[in-house]
Structure 1
Amino acid sequence: MAQTTIVKPRTAVKPKVERPRLHKVILINDDYTPREFVVMVLKAEFRMTEDEAYKVMITAHRRGVCVVAVYTRDVAETKATRATDLGRSKGYPLMFTTEPEE
């Protein structure tokens, strides 16, 4: 009589992959960059509608800062740098920064 061997299937162990921490892009208000230019930058770099861009610009104007959008770290830093550079290229002190989301 042949002996049967019972083979248990191996359970694959999946490593836990954490979602990348998200970063906020923040618009910092200044008293020199024209509102229309800020709206144009928000539309160009963050693909906002005219209305969305205006609301973000006005919020930053009234409160001093406004969260523009939330992305992974690399995307947030790239967009903040590109948007800030657009202002600098026209001689404006327009400033975008990033910070980790809580």
Structure 2
Amino acid sequence: MNEMAKYKITMNKQNDRSNKDDDHNESGVATRLRPKLKKPDPYRVLLLNDDYTPMEFVIFVLEKFFKKNREDATRIMLNVHQSGVGECGIYSYEVAETKVTQVLDCARQNQHPLQCVMERK
């Protein structure tokens, strides 16, 4: 039986005093049981600093793939440049994996060694 299709049926006996021969007057309400859903684990997408990727390209990547405005992209880029790593965002596993792949593909196409990784938060 499909887990989503399970029902709980509650039966209530109704005693009809006028008809004592029929003790099987029952009514039921079918309620669907909802499975407990767990929130997906969050993953951080991080850019790693290198000595060759131009700062402007890092800003471009943040604007294009992470939908950051110019100010936020510049702030993250400076964090990458100064501390060696910068957080681009927090996503579900599948979304984080896709963004990492997009960034790495774009960096390779533009001949930059920019590294992008994901880690569980």
User: For residue 89 of structure 2, what is the aligned residue in structure 1?
Assistant: 69
TM-score normalised according to structure 1 size: 0.89
Q: What is the correspondence of 1:2-17 to structure 2 with a 5 Å cutoff? A: 2=19, 3=22, 5-17=25-37
Higher share in strand: 2
Q: What is the correspondence of 1:49-68 to structure 2 with a 5 Å cutoff? A: 49-68=69-88
In structure 2, list runs of 5 or more residues that go unmatched.
1-17
In structure 1, list runs of 5 or more residues that go unmatched.
none
The answer to whether structure 1 residue 23 and structure 2 residue 43 are counterparts is yes
Higher share in helix: 1
TM-score normalised according to structure 2 size: 0.76
> What is the RMSD computed on CA atoms of the aligned residues?
1.5
Q: Which has the higher contact order (CA 8 A, sep 6+)?
A: 1
Which aligned segments of 4 or more residues in structure 1 are displaced greater than 6 angstroms? none
The answer to whether structure 1 residue 93 and structure 2 residue 106 are counterparts is no
Matched residues, number: 101
Q: Render the CA deviation track for 1:19-46: whole Å, top value 9, x for unaligned.
A: 1112111111111100011101111111
Structure with higher Rg: it is 2
